């Protein structure tokens, strides 16, 4: 699996250390193992997980600014865990309301020795978010309007919302409340992944 990951990283022009590659593969192995009992993802094949979960998560890394992030509706830790591995100097709060997902993430934290993630079981509306975050990240979590409405209390003054989307979400962007502005829409290239991927970056006015 490490060879496949190395090929994908090379195709995406991403350079990682051997330890980071081992951690990413270790995460996929844990996800595959726990998925049988916990049903954490619909992707069953570990090779496919490398493309659809690992690469799809870490291609957003160059667009992130700051070092305190919260991954809302993280599920089994996507994109938070892969991003925490490739950004060891950043801290990621992994927020999900389901206990089984948080139990899995605590196991990931322990097994991979990740000091820079904090799994938290909470609904996003009930989470205080102090101190404020540099970035609020979501992947397949909600519409842009729901995201900013539910998470408006989480970013700091210079903080940003980062929404990972498939096709360019023109209608969702048009429906954003007026106090929020899209600062960038980044077209993402994920090797061996069919379909469009976009990162929408939003700030509060």
- The enclosing domain of 150 has a CATH number of 3.40.50.150
Q: How many CA atoms lie within 13 A of 178 on its CB side?
A: 0
Determine the length of the chain.
205
Domain-embedded: residue 125: no
pLDDT in tens, 61-110: 999 999 999 999 999 999 999 999 999 999 999 999 999 999 999 999 99
Q: How far apart are alpha carbons 70 and 153 in whole angstroms?
A: 12
Q: How far apart are alpha carbons 174 and 151 in whole angstroms?
A: 19
Domain residue limits at 38: 1-120+130-204
Q: Which residues define the annotated binding site for S-adenosyl-L-methionine?
A: 73, 78, 124-125, 139
Q: Which residues define the annotated binding site?
A: 73, 78, 124-125, 139
Position 141 confidence tier, pLDDT thresholds 50, 70, 90: confident
Give this prediction's pTM.
0.97
Domain-embedded: residue 178: yes
Residue 80 CA, chain-centre distance (Å), reads: 4
Q: How many domains does the chain have?
A: 1
């Amino acid at each position: 699996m490490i060879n496949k990951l190395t090929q994908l990283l090379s195709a995406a022009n991403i350079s990682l250390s051997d330890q980071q590659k081992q951690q990413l593969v270790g995460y996929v192995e844990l996800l595959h193992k726990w998925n049988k009992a916990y049903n954490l993802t619909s992707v069953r094949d570990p090779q496919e997980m490398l493309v659809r979960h690992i690469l799809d998560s870490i291609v957003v890394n160059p667009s992130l600014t700051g070092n305190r992030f919260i991954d809302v509706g993280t599920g089994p830790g996507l994109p938070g865990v892969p991003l925490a591995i490739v950004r060891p100097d950043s801290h990621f709060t992994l927020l999900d309301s389901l206990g089984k997902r948080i139990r899995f993430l605590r196991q990931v934290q322990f097994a991979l020795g990740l000091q820079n993630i904090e799994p938290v079981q909470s609904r996003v509306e009930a989470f205080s978010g102090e101190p404020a975050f540099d970035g609020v990240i979501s992947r397949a979590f909600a519409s842009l309007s729901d995201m900013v409405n539910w998470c408006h209390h989480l970013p700091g003054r210079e903080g940003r919302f980062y929404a990972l989307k498939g096709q360019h979400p023109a209608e969702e962007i048009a429906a954003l409340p007026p106090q929020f502005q899209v600062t960038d829409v980044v077209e993402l290239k994920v090797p061996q992944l069919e379909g469009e991927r976009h990162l929408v970056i939003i700030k509060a006015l």
